[in-house]
Structure 1
Amino acid sequence: MKKSLVLVLALFMVATVFAQRFKAKKNIPLDAIRLSDPYILADEASQTYYMTGTGGKLWKSKDLKYWEGPFKITDTDPDSWMGPNPMIWAAELHQYKGKYYDFATFTNREVMIDTVNGNTIERRASHILVSDTPDGPYKPMEDESYLPADKPTLDGTFWVDTDGKPYMIYCWEWLQNGNGTMEKIELKPDLSGSIGTRVLLFKASDSPWSREKDQNGKDKKSKVTDGPFLFNTETGKLGMIWTSWIYDEYVQGVAYSKSGTLDGPWIQEEEPITPRNFGHGMLFTSFDGKDLMAVHSHEVVNGNYHRVPHLFEVDRSGDTLKVVGPYKP
Structure 2
Amino acid sequence: MPVYNASSDVNNPQKGLRLADIPAHDPFVLADKHTGDYYLYTSGIPRLNGMDRYGVITYKSTNLSDWEGPYIVFTNPHGIWANPLHGAWAPEVHEYKGRFYLFVTLHNNDRPLEGAPVNGYAKHWRGTVIAVSESPEGPFKLLKEDAPVLPETMMTLDGTLYVDEDGSPWMVYCHEWIQTIDGTIEAVRLNNDLSEAIGDPIVLFNASEAPWENKDDLPDDRIRVYVTDGCQLYRTSAGHLVMLWSSYESGSYVQTIARSKTGKLEGPWEQLEPLVKGDSGHGMLFRTFEGTWMLILHQPFKMPESRCKLYEMEDTGDSLRVVTAREDLHGVTG
Q: TM class by shorter-chain length?
A: 0.7 to 0.9
Equivalents in 1 of 2:176, 2:114: separation in Å?
A: 12
Distance 1:305 1:33, change over 3 A: closer
Q: 1:153-192, aligned counterparts within 5 Å?
A: 153-192=156-195
Secondary structure (helix, strand or coil) at the match of 2:101 reads strand
- Check conservation: 2:229, 2:247, Cα contact below 8 A: yes
Equivalents in 1 of 2:271, 2:104: separation in Å?
A: 25
Aligned length: 306
TM superposition shift of 1:210: 1.4
TM superposition shift of 1:149: 2.2
The residue aligned with 1:23 is: 12
User: 2:259 matched to 1:256?
Assistant: yes
The residue aligned with 2:68 is: 68
TM superposition shift of 1:211: 1.2
The residue aligned with 1:37 is: 26
The residue aligned with 1:59 is: 59
The residue aligned with 1:209 is: 212
The residue aligned with 2:152 is: 149
Equivalents in 2 of 1:241, 1:69: separation in Å?
A: 27
User: 2:318 matched to 1:319?
Assistant: yes
TM superposition shift of 1:309: 0.3
Q: 1:230-245, aligned counterparts within 5 Å?
A: 230-245=233-248
TM superposition shift of 1:142: 4.1
Identity of aligned residues (%): 38
Instruction: Letter of the 1:133 partner, please give it.
Output: S
User: When the two structures are superposed, what TM-score results if normalisation uses the length of structure 2?
Assistant: 0.86
The residue aligned with 1:275 is: 277
TM superposition shift of 1:282: 0.4
TM superposition shift of 1:83: 3.1
- Check conservation: 1:115, 1:121, Cα contact below 8 A: yes
1:266 to 258, 264, 269: 269
Equivalents in 2 of 1:273, 1:140: separation in Å?
A: 34
* Larger relative contact order, structure 1 or 2 (CA cutoff 8 Å, min sep 6): 2
Deviates more, 1:250-259 or 1:203-212: 203-212
Structure 1 gap ranges (5+): 1-19
User: 2:224 matched to 1:225?
Assistant: no
Secondary structure (helix, strand or coil) at the match of 1:205 reads helix
User: 2:199 matched to 1:196?
Assistant: yes
Q: 1:99-138, aligned counterparts within 5 Å?
A: 99-117=99-117, 119-138=121-140
Instruction: Letter of the 1:28 partner, please give it.
Output: L
**The structure with more radius of gyration:** 1
Instruction: Letter of the 2:138 partner, please give it.
Output: G
Equivalents in 1 of 2:106, 2:262: separation in Å?
A: 32
- Check conservation: 1:75, 1:139, Cα contact below 8 A: no
CA displacement, residues 119-160 of structure 1 (integer Å, 9 cap, x when unaligned): 422211111100000100000114732112212111111100
Structure 2 gap ranges (5+): 1-8, 45-55, 330-334
Secondary structure (helix, strand or coil) at the match of 1:224 reads coil
TM superposition shift of 1:166: 0.2
